[in-house]
A and B are shown apart, each in its own frame.
Chain A
Amino acid sequence: MIAIIDYNTGNLRSVKNALARLGADFAVTSSEEVVRSAGGVILPGVGEASSAMERLRATGLDKVIPTLEAPVLGICIGMQLMCLHSDEGDVDGMGIFRTSVRRFSPEDSSASEAVKIPHMGWNTVSRPDSPLFDGLPDMPWLYYVHSYYAGLCEDTLATSVYGSRTFSAALCRNNFYGVQFHPEKSGDAGAMILSNFIRMSL
């Protein structure tokens, strides 16, 4: 069973619908007991980082998630909350990934691409050698909507480029995964990533 963490965030329904389409066994929950017994945990997220972190803290799960041994997947803001710190609302995250979250700037523009904020739409991702990306083509297209990004670090699993800025498209540390793009909104490529995560969670 996969636990989708409910902390009143925007894309909860989309993530739930995506898992239902894939026939996964899942529960939407903020219960520590359910999260601890799950075969895998998804931390969704859309919106503003500091208020999202506040809501996550209110569930008490910010102390539980870093101790889990089952696969954990943070999506978008969910991933950002697993980093050390976010400049959005100047908030500390759970510190699982050794990087901080910063805002894109028009200065990140390159000669061939003007950086507009948010970074919204489909972008290519370097395909890493990771079970989460099994079966994907080289440089798959995935859907992004975000104004802040996680910088590159030792936990960077995959990268995307916006203007002249290369950022972490996916992060991994032990059993913890995070993706900045929205697999639940990324057509077949996103469905494959979620299927991989479901398999990893069995």
Chain B
Amino acid sequence: MLSKRIIPCLDVKDGRTVKGIHFENLRDAGDPVELGAKYAAEGADELVYLDISASHEGRKTFTGVVRRISEAIDIPFTVGGGISSEDDAARLLDEGADKISVNTAAVENPSLISEIASRHGSQFIVCAIDARLIDGVWRVTTHGGRNITDKELFSWALEAQNRGAGEILFTSMDHDGSKQGYPCETFAALCSSLSIPVIASGGAGSVDDIAEVLTAGKADAALAASIFHYGEITITALKKELSARGITVRV
């Protein structure tokens, strides 16, 4: 049986890992390769690296970081942030990334998903979706939740799947950073409506939250940042506790 996956997410700016809440009050958290290796040693199942550099120079630096990650780390890793063309994806895959994630660029140009999937395979492309509940409808947002689009979560996720996305990474912008848990009913409905894996992101504040989204929420994986970065819980302890609750994890 496949295990449920625990995936720490690292934000990288100008080649360094940064910690902050909603991209504010960023502080340096060290070398992305060293931090990734530490998480891998603690039992992380995959890693996600998001480039939040704003400058062209910063993006170039990130390419070098991706190469160093692929040399040093022996578990799968996804890279995202600022991928807006098939060429961007190809460059990162050439540097050794196992998967790339697209978000805003795919909303603006859905054929980007089809192009990447047909050239590199569905297993290379994760479609990240940020959404927020407005008047009873889960509306897809872009640019870190600032722009509300006319797309709706369930139909967009299905379109992404049909265009060849291999996984959906769904973040509720209403819950992200809140540490109040995930919208589990929405996750359960989303997972049941798709035939590709769903990664739950945004909102984890405790072991209970993660356990709930992996069971009642039917998610295949849970991604989290701050609870790992601030040492509130180690990945080793989290997986041990999930295992004790009867959830299949790699321990």
Q: Which residues of chain B come closer than 8 Å to A122, judged between CB atoms?
A: 2-3, 5, 45, 250
Verify A18–B123 contact, CB threshold 8 A: no
Check: A190 CB closer than 8 A to any chain B CB: yes
A17 to B73, CA, bound (A): 9
A187 to B47, CA, bound (A): 12
A200 to B71, CA, bound (A): 24
Identify which of B75, B94, B166, B194 contacts A185 (C-beta below 8 A): B75
Verify B123–A120 contact, CB threshold 8 A: yes
Q: Mark B60-73, 1 if CB is under 8 A from A, else 0.
A: 00000000001110
23 contacts between A and B (CB under 8 A): A13-B94, A13-B95, A17-B70, A17-B71, A17-B96, A47-B121, A48-B121, A106-B195, A112-B1, A113-B1, A117-B196, A120-B167, A121-B45, A121-B197, A122-B5, A123-B2, A145-B76, A145-B123, A161-B1, A162-B1, A162-B2, A187-B74, A191-B74
Q: Mark A1-39, 1 if CB is under 8 A from B, else 0.
A: 000000000100110011011000000000000000000
A158-202 at interface with B (beta carbon < 8 Å): 161-162, 182, 184-188, 190-191
Q: Which residues of chain B come closer than 8 Å to A97, judged between CB atoms?
A: none
User: Shortest 4 CB-CB distances between A and B: which pairs?
Assistant: A141-B250, A122-B250, A122-B3, A13-B96
> A residues bordering B, Cβ < 8 Å?
10, 13-14, 17-18, 20-21, 46-48, 106, 112-113, 116-124, 141, 143-145, 147, 161-162, 182, 184-188, 190-191
A141 to B194, CA, bound (A): 26
Check: B175 CB closer than 8 A to any chain A CB: no
Q: Mark B155-197, 1 if CB is under 8 A from A, else 0.
A: 0000000000011000000000000000000000000001111
B202-251 at interface with A (beta carbon < 8 Å): 220-221, 250
B contact face: mostly helix, strand, loop, or mixed: loop
Q: Which residues of chain A come closer than 8 Å to B75, judged between CB atoms?
A: 143, 185-187
Check: B98 CB closer than 8 A to any chain A CB: yes
Verify B196–A143 contact, CB threshold 8 A: no
A contact face: mostly helix, strand, loop, or mixed: mixed
Q: Which residues of chain A come closer than 8 Å to B2, judged between CB atoms?
A: 113, 119-123, 144, 162
Identify which of B74, B121, B221 contacts A186 (C-beta below 8 A): B74
A116 to B123, CA, bound (A): 12
CB nearest to B194 among chain A residues:
A116
Verify B120–A47 contact, CB threshold 8 A: yes
Verify B123–A20 contact, CB threshold 8 A: no
Verify A121–B5 contact, CB threshold 8 A: yes
Verify A46–B1 contact, CB threshold 8 A: no
Q: Which residues of chain A come closer than 8 Å to B122, judged between CB atoms?
A: 118, 147
